[in-house]
Chain A
Amino acid sequence: MERAAYITKIENILRIDTKFYQRIYFGQEFCERLLPSPEDLKRAIDFARENKLQFTLITPYVTNRGLRELRYLLDLIASETPQNEVVFNDYGVLRMLKRRYPELKPVMGRLLNKMKRDPRILFIASMLPIDAIRYFRGLSIDNPIYRDFLIQNNITRIELDNVFQGFDINLSISGISASIYVPYAYVTTTRACLAINCDVYGMEDIVGIFPCKRECQKYTFYLKSSAMPTILIRKGNTIFVRNEKVPSYIDKIGVDRIVYEIDLI
Chain B
Amino acid sequence: MIRILAPVDRVDEVDKLIDAGADEIYCGLVPSEWLHKYTAIVALTRRPAPSANLKSFKELEECVEIAHSHNAEVSLTINEHYYRADQYDLLLKITEKAADIGVDYIVLSDLGLLLTLRKMNIGVKLHVSIGGVALNSEAIKFYQELGVLRVQLPRDLTIEEIREICNEVSGIQLGAFILNSKCANIDGFCTFLHFPPMGPLYNNACMLSYEVFVDSNEDEEKKIVAGVRQKVWERFHIDDRPCGACALYDFNEMNLGFVKIVGRGYPTPKKILDVTFIRTLLNYLYEKKPSREAFRLFAKSLYNRFYNRECRVIMCYYPEVMLEWSEQHI
Contacts and interface: CB of A to CB of B under 8 A. Distances in A.
- Residue among B82, B142, B320 with the most chain A CB within 10 A? B82
B320 A209 contact: yes
Contact of A135 (B87, B119, B143, B213): B87
A194 B229 CA distance: 7
Interface in A137-157: 138-146, 149
Interface residues of B, number: 86
Interface string B194-205: 000000111101
B42 A204 contact: no
A204 to B, nearest CB: 5
Contact of A207 (B156, B236, B318): B236
A107 to B, nearest CB: 16
B212 interface: yes
Chain A contact-residue range equals 35 or more
A223 B212 CA distance: 5
- Residue among B82, B83, B168, B229 with the most chain A CB within 10 A? B229
Given A93-B138, A114-B81, A205-B232, A129 B38 contact: yes
A139 B81 CA distance: 10
Contact of B319 (A94, A111, A132, A207): A207
Contacts of B323: 206, 208
B111 A221 contact: no
Contact of B313 (A93, A190, A208, A219): A208
A219 B216 contact: yes
Contact of B312 (A61, A149, A205): A205
A187 interface: yes
B112 A116 contact: no
Contacts of B165: 64
B227 A227 contact: no
Interface string A197-240: 11111011111111000010011111111111000101000000
Contacts of A198: 225-226, 229-230
B37 interface: yes
Interface of A: 61-67, 90-96, 111, 113-118, 120-121, 123-124, 128-129, 131-132, 134-136, 138-146, 149, 186-192, 194, 197-201, 203-210, 215, 218-228, 232, 234
Given A189-B185, A205-B314, 20 more contacts: A92-B138, A92-B139, A113-B82, A118-B191, A132-B41, A136-B42, A140-B110, A140-B111, A187-B191, A190-B184, A192-B156, A197-B229, A198-B226, A199-B218, A208-B323, A209-B156, A209-B158, A222-B213, A227-B201, A232-B210
Interface of B: 37-39, 41-42, 81-88, 110-113, 115-116, 119, 132-143, 145, 156-158, 161, 164-165, 168, 184-186, 188-193, 200-203, 205-206, 208-218, 222-223, 225-233, 236, 312-314, 316, 318-320, 323
11 contacts: A65-B161, A90-B136, A95-B141, A95-B142, A95-B145, A114-B188, A140-B110, A149-B115, A188-B192, A197-B229, A207-B236
